[in-house]
Amino acid sequence: MSEQVHSRRETDLPARLQEGSRAPAQAPATVQGERRGCPFHELREKLRRVGLRPTRQRVSLGWLLFAKGDRHVSAEMLYEEATRARVPVSLATVYNTLHQFTQAGLLRELAVDGSKTYFDTNLSDHHHFFVEGEDKMMDIPGPSITVGDLPTPPEGMEIARVDVVVRLRRKD
């Protein structure tokens, strides 16, 4: 079996990322010159499908975000991960990229209060617990919350989504 040759840029980043976000052990298969199964290739295609140019920074941040499955991150958390992975981005670039991903429908934005915003990679309809003092956001499992009696929206408006954040704190 012959080995695929990858650019250093594509193979170098996953090796430096945290546990749980490693690249596949096997090289991606090639079908008529096009790589299949490569996380970077798939991420680039995903970005193109939503109208975003797959720049090196978007692809690197996207890998950090999506390679670990469903999760909640703040811009500061993602910036710290990028710094540890030696991805050369500024905090402003992380903020901008998260907002671009949100506007493109790749992330959900969750405002906890005026100063704290999380981004959720799980796009399904679900609600959240927020642990005060720990700044931890968690999904509420299953359909355990029913939201009823919503107000009638003003003329010309419709309800786009309802986000419920249940705040928790540790018992003394």
In the predicted structure, residue 50 carries a pLDDT above the cut 60 = yes
Domains and CATH numbers, the chain: 8-123 (1.10.10.10)
In the predicted structure, residue 33 carries a pLDDT above the cut 80 = no
Token pair, residue 162, equals 């309802």
In the predicted structure, residue 118 carries a pLDDT above the cut 90 = yes
Where are any strands of DSSP class E within the chain? Answer: 29-31, 34-36, 72-73, 108-113, 116-120, 128-131, 136-139, 165-168
**CA 119 centroid distance within chain:** 7
- β 165-168/116-120 pair status: unpaired
The pTM (predicted TM-score) of the whole model is 0.72
Token pair, residue 40, equals 């970077």
The mean per-residue pLDDT over the stretch 72-79 comes to 96
Strand-pairing partners, residue 31, are 34
Higher pLDDT, 7 or 162: 162
